[in-house]
């Protein structure tokens, strides 16, 4: 597979791109983002992308092998903007301002999803489907978060705050799961009377309680 770096895009022919070409490529990426936000992830034909970008299908193929590759480029770009949640976690949720740090963390997660909802959904669907390229991106994004969470659990276990019966990575996966899912779907919870703030607060508290072994003060 031709590995594509965001800062060094290349035409399908392998030639480097001039400034005009870069702009066109950018228009195609942007058009795809827009379409993605407007309709289903499964309904993304080359023709429509090209039309939206004000160009032709033939041009599309100068820049991308197929729609998947384009989606991959978008997913990589979105993933790069993922906040460094792992660092926050390592800063620990204990002590008096632990809850405040947890809130900031959840908030960053929510915001990241708000900004890239469509493409992150696509990335996860493709990964669930088993596509190794999207799995890799997802793994690079979530992996460090899982590790950081698991480390905190282990620390809690050493310090006797958390039961040894809990499996650090299973717990980490559980926490990451609901963080991600609620971030992706927090709007739907409005129907149940939960605002974005409610979700942030609730997630932060469950997070602290699980990592610390007891509810925050």
Partner DNA sequence: TGTACATCAGTGAACGCGCGTTCACTGATGTAC
Site for a copy of itself, rule CB under 8 A: 40-42, 121, 125, 128-130, 146, 150, 162-163, 165-167, 169-171, 173-175, 177-178, 181-182, 185, 189, 192-194, 198-199, 201-203, 205-206, 209-210, 213-216
Does 206 participate in binding DNA (rule CB under 7 A)? no
Q: Indicate the residue among 8 and 164 with the shorter CB distance to DNA.
A: 8
Tokens standing for residue 78: 């979105």
Give 12's DSSP letter: T
Which of DNA, a copy of itself, none interacts with 87 (beta carbon under 5 to 8 A by kind)? none
> What's the first-to-final CA gap in the chain, in angstroms?
52
Which of a copy of itself, DNA, none interacts with 81 (beta carbon under 5 to 8 A by kind)? none
Cα separation of 153 and 164, whole Å?
A: 10
Does 2 participate in binding DNA (rule CB under 7 A)? no
Cα separation of 24 and 30, whole Å?
A: 10
The binding track of 33-72 with respect to DNA, each residue x by CB under 7 A or -, is ----------xxxxx------xxxxxxxxx---xx-----
Query: Considering the complex, what minimum distance in angstroms separates the CB of residue 217 from a copy of itself?
Result: 10
Does 196 participate in binding DNA (rule CB under 7 A)? no
Q: In terms of residues, how long is the chain?
A: 217
Q: Indicate the residue among 19 and 96 with the shorter CB distance to DNA.
A: 19
Cα separation of 109 and 200, whole Å?
A: 10
Query: Considering the complex, what minimum distance in angstroms separates the CB of residue 185 from a copy of itself?
Result: 8
Residue 193 Cα distances to 107, 186, 188, angstroms: 19, 11, 10
CB atoms within 10 A of CB 96: 8
Angle at 124 between CA 113 and CA 194, to 5 degrees: 40
Which residues are near DNA by CB under 7 A? Answer: 11, 15, 17-21, 23-24, 43-47, 54-62, 66-67
């Amino acid at each position: 597979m031709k590995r594509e770096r965001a800062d060094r895009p290349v035409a399908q022919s392998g030639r480097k791109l001039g400034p005009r070409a870069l702009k066109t490529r950018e228009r195609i990426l942007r058009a795809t983002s827009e379409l993605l936000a407007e309709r289903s992830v499964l309904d993304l034909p080359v023709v429509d992308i090209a039309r939206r970008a004000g160009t032709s299908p033939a041009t599309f193929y100068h820049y991308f092998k197929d729609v998947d590759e384009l989606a991959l480029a978008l997913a990589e770009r979105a993933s790069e903007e993922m906040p460094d949640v792992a660092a926050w976690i390592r800063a620990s949720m204990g002590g008096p301002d632990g809850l405040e740090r947890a809130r900031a963390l959840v908030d960053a997660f929510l915001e990241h999803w708000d900004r890239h909802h469509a493409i992150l959904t696509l990335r996860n669907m493709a990964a669930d489907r088993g596509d190794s390229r999207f799995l890799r991106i997802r793994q690079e994004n979530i992996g460090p978060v899982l590790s950081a969470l698991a480390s905190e659990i282990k620390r809690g276990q050493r310090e006797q705050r958390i039961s040894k019966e809990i499996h650090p990575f299973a717990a980490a996966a559980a926490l990451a799961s609901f963080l991600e899912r609620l971030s992706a779907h927090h709007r739907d919870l409005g129907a149940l009377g939960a605002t974005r703030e409610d979700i942030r607060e609730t997630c932060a508290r469950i997070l602290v309680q699980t990592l610390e072994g007891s509810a925050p003060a």
